[in-house]
Structure 1
Amino acid sequence: MNAAVRFVSYVVLGALGVLVATAGALVQDGWFPGGLILALAGSAGLFYGGAQLTRNRLGAAVPTVLWFITVMYLSITRPEGDFLFAAGLGPYIYLLGGMATGVICATLPRHTPPGVPGARLGTR
C-alpha cells in the first residue's frame, strides 16, 4: 500500500470510529441487552477490520482512539441537563468492553504468511 492510500484509509477508519461510537451510544441502552451486544460487535468488527485492512496495528488504533474520544464526549452532561448515557450497567459495559476490544485488536500478534521467512535467524 502506498503512503497516500494508507493515509486515506486511516482517515476513513477514524471517521468510521466516530460513526460507530455515536451509533453504539444510541443503540446500546435503547434495546438492552441486544443493542449492547450489537454495539460491541460493531466496534469489534471495525477495530479488527481496520487492522486487517491496513495490515498493521495502527489500523486498529486509529478508530479505537477516535471511538474512545467520541464516547467520552458523548458521556459529558450538557448545561441544559441533558445527557446521552444513563447511569447504569449498560453504558459501563459499552465503554469498558469497547476499550478492551480496541486494545486487543491493536495488540494482536502479526503472523507471517506461509512460505515467508521469519525475521529471526534460523526460523522459517
Structure 2
Amino acid sequence: MAQPLKPARILLHLLLVAIGAVAGAAGALIQAAWFPGGLLLALLGAAGVCYGGARATGTKGGGFAAGAGWLVAVILLTSSRPEGDFVFGAGLGSYVYLLGGMAVAVMCATVAAPSQPMRPDGRLGK
C-alpha cells in the first residue's frame, strides 16, 4: 500500500534527487581522473546514493529518486556545449560509467527496499 504524501516525505525525495545529481556530477569528473580506481569509486558512489535513498525512505521510491537525479545530471553532462567542451571523453571508462551507473541505479531502486516492516510490532501480510 502506498504511503500518503506528506510535506516532509516530498522534501526528502527532492533532497534525494539533489544528492543523486551531485553524486552523478562528481562521479563524472572523478571517473576519468583516476582511472580505473576513480571509475570504481564513481560507481560505488552511485550505488551508495541509490541504496541509501531506498533505505532512508523505506521504499523503492527513495532509490528511484536518487537514481533519477543521478541520471539527469549525467545526461546533462553528456551534451556538448557550443564552445565544444564536454565532460565525457570517448573512452571505455566513460561508457562503463554511463551504462554501469544506470544498471546500478536500476538494481538499487528495484531491489533495495527492505522486505521486513520497519516497526517491530508490524506484521507481514496485513
Common fold, TM-score beyond 0.5? yes
- Structure 2: 5+ residue runs without aligned partners? none
Would you say 1:33 and 2:36 are equivalent positions? yes
Would you say 1:111 and 2:115 are equivalent positions? yes
Q: Could you give the per-residue CA deviations for residues 14-53 of structure 1, whole angstroms, max 9, x where no partner exists?
A: 1101110110000000110011011111111000000000
Residue aligned with 2:33, SS = coil
Identify the residue that residue 97 of structure 1 maps to in structure 2: 100
* Whole-Å separation in 2 of the counterparts to 1:115 and 1:96: 41
Equivalences for residues 53-72 of structure 1 within 5 A: 53-72=56-75
Moved over 2 A (4+): 113-118
Q: Percent identity?
A: 46
Residue 4 (structure 1) shift: 2.0
Q: Could you give the per-residue CA deviations for residues 61-81 of structure 1, whole angstroms, max 9, x where no partner exists?
A: 011112111101101111111
Asked if 1 retains the 8 angstrom alpha-carbon contact of 2:63 and 2:105, the reply is: yes
Q: Give the number of equivalent residue pairs.
A: 120
Identify the residue that residue 5 of structure 1 maps to in structure 2: 8
**AA partner of residue 65 (structure 2):** V
Identify the residue that residue 45 of structure 2 maps to in structure 1: 42
Q: Which has the larger radius of gyration?
A: 1
TM-score, normalised to structure 2, is 0.87
